């Protein structure tokens, strides 16, 4: 009998937890709940930072710059986490191999929640100067490293244990964390923006959502450890070969598959920040519409997104995951072409902004709902755990990490039509990657 290296190297605390949970039963519904709670907490942390990059950081950390330049500086720091994320995945895989999955997850989520909460205590630029910006950048990098380490394999395990005829439905469940996390983050910021004076909001109101992050991550940690600590969960992981492998081993056998997998969800990931973070920036810089009001418009859009994510699972079970990815990429292409006319339908027109946001969120949900399985469709079971993490990291880096920065600059310099051009490039990349990857067609 072979011994799982991760299990053999688990800490005594993790082994004690497994003994305590020895009678625990792990059902697909338990896994689904743990996935949703975990993903929602991660997305909450990132959306809180993204919203603050528009409403708070330009004034608190870059008061010396013009509003546009200050927002671009904020978006540059926003992108740091996406650069750090694949590095975090590689580093925390080593922690997993040496100390076990539970230890890795505990460190990662405490680091994620702690670094997010620490931002709430940062002094302003006016108080300590350049050091404030440097501390913000360091904490953002720590967020990215932690998010890479928060990969727990739950989504892959859920997909592997789902009934064949319901794989699309179970594949969409982890993706519900995104709209839920955005709803909580946007609602919190909207509440403080509407109910506080601008001075109070910039002084202390913006800090509360960041401070809440630590509590939310602790709750998510216990929800996930409740599953990870059960022997049945370990058996399911071993059965699915969901254990980390070295980055050299992974790239030697699946380098091309990782790259193709990273480009399959590019249309969805490019759209991701173009309906969440970028519209807030454009609205704040170019219109008199209340930020609190616009955040509630996006809140309603996130509800539509959640419904579309669920619908993607039902549709995928009928026509196949690959087919719905092609259809959604095609619809995003049409949406991108329409967005090239954005000055006519968006601009400072409140109705146009609302339509853009709601349609964008609907398409985001339809496409994003099936990206979890798409990024790992070409990977063998032995490489699925590490391959899924690295592929997802690269997809976020290429598709979403720099999107707010690039699109805000281009749209300001050359017009809103560039929003559509940027999104069109992502949609075409997805269609090209899908033409090279027919593994989903064979699976469904």
Q: What is the pLDDT of residues 322-351, one digit of tens each?
A: 889 899 999 999 998 877 765 545 556 777
Q: Average the pLDDT over 144-164 and give the result.
A: 76
Q: What is the pLDDT of residues 248-306, one digit of tens each?
A: 888 887 888 888 888 888 889 889 989 999 999 988 998 888 899 999 999 999 999 99
Say if domain 26-436 classifies as CATH 3.40.50.300.
no
Lowest mean pLDDT among 22-36, 41-55, 147-161, 163-177: 22-36
**Which pLDDT score, from 0 to 100, does residue 9 have?**
46
Query: Using CA of residue 70, residue 72, residue 75, residue 80, what is the dihedral sign?
Result: negative
Residue among 354, 344, 330 at smallest CA distance from 419: 344
Which of these ranges, 56-60, 205-209, 355-359, 376-380, has the smallest mean pLDDT?
A: 376-380
Model confidence at 380: pLDDT above 50: yes
Tokens at 108, concatenated: 């990662």
Residue 3 in this model has a pLDDT that exceeds 50: no
| pTM for this entry | 0.88
Q: State the pLDDT confidence band at 230, using cuts at 50, 70 and 90.
A: low
* Per-residue pLDDT reduced to its tens digit, 66-93: 999 999 999 999 999 999 999 999 999 8
Note the pLDDT of residue 347: 53
Q: pLDDT higher for 23 or 293?
A: 293
Average pLDDT across the chain, whole number:
83
pLDDT, position 104: 87
pLDDT in tens, 26-46: 566 777 777 888 889 889 999
- In the chain, where are the structural domains located? 26-436
């Amino acid at each position: 009998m072979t011994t799982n290296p991760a299990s053999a190297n688990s800490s005594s605390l993790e082994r004690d937890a497994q003994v305590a949970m020895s009678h625990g039963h792990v059902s697909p519904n338990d896994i689904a709940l743990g996935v949703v709670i975990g993903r929602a907490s991660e997305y909450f942390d990132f959306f809180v930072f993204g919203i603050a990059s528009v409403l708070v950081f330009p004034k608190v950390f870059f008061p010396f710059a013009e509003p546009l330049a200050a927002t671009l500086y904020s978006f540059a720091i926003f992108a740091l986490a996406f650069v750090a994320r694949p590095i975090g995945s590689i580093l925390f895989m080593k922690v997993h191999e040496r100390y076990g999955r539970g230890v890795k997850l505990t460190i990662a989520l405490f680091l994620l929640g702690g670094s997010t909460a620490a931002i709430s205590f940062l002094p302003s630029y006016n108080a300590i100067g350049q050091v404030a910006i440097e501390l913000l950048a360091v904490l953002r990098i720590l967020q990215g490293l932690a998010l890479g380490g928060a990969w727990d394999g739950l989504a892959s395990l859920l997909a592997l244990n789902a009934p064949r005829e319901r794989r699309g439905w179970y594949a969409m469940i982890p993706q519900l964390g995104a709209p839920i996390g955005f709803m909580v983050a946007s609602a919190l910021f909207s509440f403080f923006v509407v109910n506080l004076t601008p001075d109070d909001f910039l002084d202390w109101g913006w800090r509360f959502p960041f401070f809440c992050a630590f509590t939310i991550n602790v709750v998510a940690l216990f929800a996930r450890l409740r599953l990870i600590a059960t022997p049945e969960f370990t058996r399911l992981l071993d059965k699915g070969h969901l254990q980390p492998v070295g980055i050299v081993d992974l790239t030697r056998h699946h380098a091309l598959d990782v790259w193709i997998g990273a480009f399959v969800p590019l249309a969805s990931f490019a759209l991701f920040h173009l309906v969440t973070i970028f519209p807030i920036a454009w609205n704040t810089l170019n219109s008199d519409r209340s930020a609190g009001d616009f955040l509630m418009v996006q809140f309603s859009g996130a509800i539509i997104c959640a419904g579309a994510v669920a619908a993607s699972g039902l549709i995928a079970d009928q026509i196949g995951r690959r087919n719905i990815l092609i259809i959604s990429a095609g619809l995003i292409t049409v949406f991108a072409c329409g967005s090239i006319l954005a000055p006519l339908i968006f601009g400072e027109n409140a109705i146009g902004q609302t339509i853009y946001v709601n349609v964008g969120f609907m398409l985001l949900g339809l496409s994003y709902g099936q990206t979890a399985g798409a990024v790992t469709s070409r990977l063998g079971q032995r490489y699925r755990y590490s391959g899924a993490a690295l592929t997802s990291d690269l997809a976020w880096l290429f598709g979403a990490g720099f999107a707010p920065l690039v699109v805000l600059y281009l749209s300001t310099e050359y017009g809103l039509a560039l929003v559509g051009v940027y999104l069109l490039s992502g949609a075409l990349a997805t269609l090209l990657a899908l033409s090279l990857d027919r593994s989903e067609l064979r699976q469904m």
